[in-house]
Amino acid sequence: MSKLHVSAVASLDRMLRTHQADQLDPSQLRALMARPRIDTSSIFKTVTPIIEKVRTEGDAAVREYTAQFDRVQLQSVCVRIEDLPEPHLSAEVTAAFDTAFRNIKAFHEAQHTPSIEVETMPGVVCRRVSRPIGAVGIYVPGGTAVLPSTTLMLAVPAKIAGCKTIVMATPPRPDGSITPEVVYCARKAGVTHVLKAGGAQAVAAMAWGTASCPKVDKILGPGNQYVTAAKMALQNSEAMVAIDMPAGPSEVLVIADAGANPAHVAADLLSQAEHGQDSQVVLVALPGVDLNAVEAELSKQCDALPRNETARKALKHSYAIRVAGQQEAIEFSNEYAPEHLIVNVEDAESWLPALDNAGSIFLGRWTPESVGDYASGTNHVLPTFGYSRMYSGVSLDSFLKKMTVQNLTYEGLALLGPHVAKMAEIEGLDAHRRAVTMRLGLQ
């Protein structure tokens, strides 16, 4: 029996399996870091006919699938935001959303970068300029939890970027209406159209366009495995649509030292475990961490959660791992590449230069992941499943495209042209060469 297996068996009575890093060989560590397996082949088989039917039948297919999956009979599939009734919320609720809106807006407005202009040679000027993506689709989940915060996270930067069409897709309530909190955030953030559908059918409607839903150029936002599969399939189709990133179930990795409050550590782990039964939470425990105290808090706090069954199922494929010190903790975290990384240690700021792979990082004793999920200003649409090694979370740049521009004078072409002509000759592209030499009167 492997050391990894022995460790798991020894901790069957705990909510979190516990492992010792120095007792695991490299292959066992890799196995430990692997996310819960998803049968992608069966998921793609499910979403492919949905995508095709929406392409050919449009709104009728969206209605059919919404009735089948959500048990909702839609009167209208996609409407303009101004056609929805004004939501009536309490002052306390609107104050919370307004605070989040201001902070998200401030952080994303600061991400504007000026155009770049460089004269690479005399008479040769190169520039890089930004333009908004014309039409974007934002997906706001609504299955097991209502997520108006996601509306703000996606629509606010889209509006700042200057996107003219912002289609929000979100599952309807049983009566076919949209959750008032989502409508409030959509209105405030600049959404132009609301598609009353979720799942693969909503993604397909935005990608292909229907009689009521504008076709978009890019689709962004989190979703379940069917939403993710639809996004990935459509970006490689004739729909000509881009996506933000591949994503999977939500996850958090918490690094804690002996000074971390066990109640806070447990609360941070549960804040992601309650997202879904396929979520994964990982505790990297530095020397001195009282795992028994963390376990006791996990049990007590989980029992008090409305979504405790969901959290318990997520904890079944989650774990804690003891490490020898800071370096081992950083190496494990960088290799795991979490969506959310909480560094609950003394002098957490000093850890940042060595942290390379994470969607979003939360430093110090007083920075729960929840603040980033809602209102600190950073974006909560992040790469999961280890994709933070090569993908960034949603930002202002997600809604922009970059164009390069060059402008040469005759003198500039006279300096640069002979080199271009020679390179074209070497590559056997004579028309390229002649486009230069004819201008310079060289033939």
Q: Model confidence at 17, in pLDDT bands (50, 70, 90)? A: very high
Q: Is the predicted pLDDT of residue 8 greater than 50, yes or no?
A: no
Q: What is the pLDDT of residue 343?
A: 98
Q: Which of 251, 295, 297, 339 is catalytic?
A: 339
Residues 6 or more apart from 193 whose CB is under 8 A from it? 78, 79, 80, 81, 165, 166, 167, 168, 213, 214
**pLDDT tens digit string along 23-79?**
999 999 999 999 877 788 899 999 999 999 999 999 999 999 999 999 999 999 999
Mean pLDDT of 149-167: 98
Taking only the tens place, the pLDDT of each residue in 81-131 is 999 999 999 999 999 999 999 999 999 999 999 999 999 999 999 999 999
> What pLDDT, on a 0 to 100 scale, did the predictor assign at position 1?
32
Residue 405 CB neighbours (<10 A): 12
The residue ranking higher by pLDDT, 338 or 37, is 338
Spatial CB neighbours of 88, under 8 Å, sequence gap ≥ 6 = 180
Average pLDDT over residues 133-149: 90
Enter the pTM of the model. 0.93
CB 262 within 8 A of CB 301: no
Half-sphere exposure of 71 (CA within 13 A, CB side): 2
Please report, rounded to a whole number, the percentage of residues in the chain having pLDDT higher than 90: 91
| pLDDT > 50? residue 6 | no
Is residue 133 helix, strand or coil? coil
Q: Which two tokens stand for residue 126?
A: 């190169």
Q: What pLDDT does 13 receive?
A: 59
The pLDDT assigned to 2 comes to 40
Q: Report the SS3 class of residue 335.
A: helix
Query: Over the stretch 278-319, which tens digit does the pLDDT of each residue have?
Result: 899 999 999 999 999 999 999 999 999 999 999 999 999 999
| Active site annotation includes 57 | no
Rounded CA-CA distance 38/225 in Å is 8
Angle, vertex CA 200, rays to CA 83 and CA 385, nearest 5: 120
pLDDT at 11 over 80: no
According to the model, what pLDDT value does residue 5 have? 40
The pLDDT value recorded for residue 144 is: 66
Give the pLDDT band (50/70/90) at residue 339. very high
Range list of H helices, 38-140: 40-57, 59-70, 91-109
Helix, coil or strand: residue 355: coil
pLDDT digits (tens, 9 = 90+) for 362-396: 999 999 999 999 999 999 999 999 999 999 999 99
Residue 143 has what pLDDT? 67
For the beta sheet containing 251-256, the strands, ordered from the edge strand earlier in sequence to the opposite edge, are 17-20, 319-322, 280-285, 251-256, 340-344, 360-363
275 in active site: no
* pLDDT for residue 3: 40
Average pLDDT over residues 401-423: 98
CB atoms within 10 A of CB 61: 22
Q: One of 264, 340, 369, 380 is an active-site residue; which one?
A: 340
**Which among 278, 268, 302 has a CA at the least distance from the CA of 39?**
278
As a dihedral over the C-alpha atoms of residue 344, residue 348, residue 351, residue 352, rounded to 10 degrees, the angle is 100
Q: What is the pLDDT of residues 345-362, one digit of tens each?
A: 999 999 999 999 999 999
Structure confidence by residue, pLDDT tens digits, 229-278:
999 999 999 999 999 998 878 999 999 999 999 999 999 999 999 998 98
